[in-house]
Chain A
């Protein structure tokens, strides 16, 4: 059974940093791209970043480019999102998601972890 479990969210001051983790199980982690998607309180979904299975390719939304870094440790079956220079508008639930069996679309999602950027 595919499982994705995010952690690392919390309260951080503007300008601060946070690293999110997503522990994956139930599939061959290194064979699949992974993504982060966020949702601000009461708002819609926003794609944040994706990474290829090998980690050699990374993609970012313009809103986070230069501030966030996606990475993975295939030996630990874990996906990361390093978030620096955080802003109030980064406040959101962050989901990790997996395009597993449906044409590269996000068919498995974690439960999300809340990041709050506030002084």
Chain B
């Protein structure tokens, strides 16, 4: 099973600041990695797929990079609605796995 480790667990930032979230895989997943956003009481929303492709309707301030074992989600300038929990997920192999999440909170 591929283990995804996200860091940091919590990121405290102010609106307008840049957020950089990390996801590290225990073995290579090539580019088969996605990022999801989840707000309290809601289902997750797909943001980025195949490491760097924005899903439909996702604003350009969200970007993803990386391949192999190290991946980054960047939010260029935080909007109030971006404060949420973010998860990475791999679909390189079975079982599919998620990271434990990074909470982006208002400082």
A: residues with CB less than 8 A from B are 35, 37, 44-47, 50, 59-62, 95, 101-107, 109-112
Contact = CB atoms under 8 A, between A and B. Distances in A.
Contact of B36 (A45, A46, A110, A111): A45
Interface in B52-104: 53, 55-56, 85, 87, 89, 91, 94-101
Contacts of B1: 62
Contact of A102 (B43, B55, B85): B55
12 contacts: A35-B96, A37-B98, A45-B36, A47-B89, A47-B98, A61-B95, A103-B53, A105-B46, A105-B89, A105-B91, A110-B43, A111-B43
A105 B46 CA distance: 8
A53 B103 CA distance: 34
A37 B38 CA distance: 13
A62 B95 CA distance: 8
